[in-house]
């Protein structure tokens, strides 16, 4: 088996990973072998990362470390189509939401080292959060290699696999919640007379500054919120309206739904 890094699935997250680590050579691999159902994605990786597009079976045959970056619904198809190529010498790094390490071990039928990763889309700008958990047969050296990869894309945390569905619902889906809140505030800004460009500038920097303040202070967000709310002022009036309209309840329900869906994906 050569010193190639294998990648099956060349979507946005795989692109962000390769961009972030600076190509396979950064990790000590001689080459990058890729496979995707869309040939144009393979060409893109060839042009940008000097990758070699090829069949999935060849990726497995010629690479020990395999990053599986396909959609959860495509995982079983990929495993079934290439079952004969898997060996216990492989390390499988899965980016598929909801799919447990034990599912790979059972489906392939080998004592296969598997490491499961849940990254999020801010990885595209080097500010992502990636949660990592190990399967039964993954060694410390496997975890260290995966951590080395994803630390190039932002924050990397090790978690027990039993928490991965919850992580998916929080940090995996979290950017979409943030974008929805900012989108709603931008629309509200238009309603009170601000133009879109100014509203965007104000909100992007307000969110950025608020998160930086929360990180540097180490305070609970409730304390920081109270510091903005003057008695009888504008902010407490707005907060009261948000609470009356069930903002907190809506977030509880959204996270629970995302958590349940992650569990469902693991059963499909």
Taking CA atoms, 193 is separated from 198, 199, 240, in Å, by 10, 10, 22
**CA 67/CA 129 separation, integer angstroms:** 18
Task: Report whether 33 contacts 14 (CB < 8 A).
Answer: no
CB 29, CB 4: distance < 8 Å: yes
**Residue 169: CB partners within 8 Å, gap ≥ 6?**
255, 256, 258, 259, 262
CA distances from 263 to 66, 113, 140, 260 (A): 24, 22, 27, 5
CB-CB contact of 92 with 116 (8 Å): no
Task: Please state, in angstroms and rounded to a whole number, the distance separating the CA atoms of residues 123 and 40.
Answer: 22
Which residue ranges make up the annotated binding site?
Answer: 8-13, 69-72
**Residue positions forming the annotated binding site for NADP(+):** 8-13, 69-72
Half-sphere exposure of 203 (CA within 13 A, CB side): 20
Q: In this structure, are residues 29 and 145 in contact, taking their beta carbons and an 8 Å threshold?
A: no
- Helix, strand, or coil here: 51? coil
């Amino acid at each position: 088996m050569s010193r190639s890094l294998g990648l099956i699935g060349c979507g946005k997250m795989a692109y962000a990973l390769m961009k972030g680590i600076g190509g396979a050579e950064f990790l000590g691999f001689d080459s990058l072998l890729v496979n995707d159902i869309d040939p144009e994605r393979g060409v893109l990786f060839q042009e940008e990362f000097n990758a070699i597009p090829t069949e999935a079976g060849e990726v497995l045959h010629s690479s020990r470390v395999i990053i599986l970056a396909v959609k959860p619904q495509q995982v079983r198809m990929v495993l079934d189509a290439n079952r004969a190529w898997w060996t216990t010498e492989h390390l499988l790094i899965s980016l598929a939401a909801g799919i447990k390490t034990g599912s790979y071990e059972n489906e392939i039928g080998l004592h296969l080292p598997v490491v499961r990763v849940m990254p999020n889309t801010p990885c595209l700008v080097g500010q992502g959060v990636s949660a990592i958990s190990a399967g039964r047969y993954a060694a410390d050296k496997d975890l260290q290699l995966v951590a080395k990869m994803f630390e190039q894309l932002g924050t990397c945390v090790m978690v027990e696999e039993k928490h991965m569905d919850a992580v998916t619902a929080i940090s995996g889906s979290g950017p979409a919640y943030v974008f929805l809140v900012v989108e709603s505030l931008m629309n509200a800004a238009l309603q009170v007379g601000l133009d879109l460009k100014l509203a965007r500038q104000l909100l992007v920097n307000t969110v950025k500054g608020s998160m930086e303040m929360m990180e540097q202070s180490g305070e609970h967000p409730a304390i920081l919120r109270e510091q903005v709310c003057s008695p009888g002022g504008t902010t407490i009036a707005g907060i009261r309206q948000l609470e009356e309209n069930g903002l907190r309840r809506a977030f509880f329900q959204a996270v629970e739904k995302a958590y349940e869906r992650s569990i469902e994906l693991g059963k499909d």
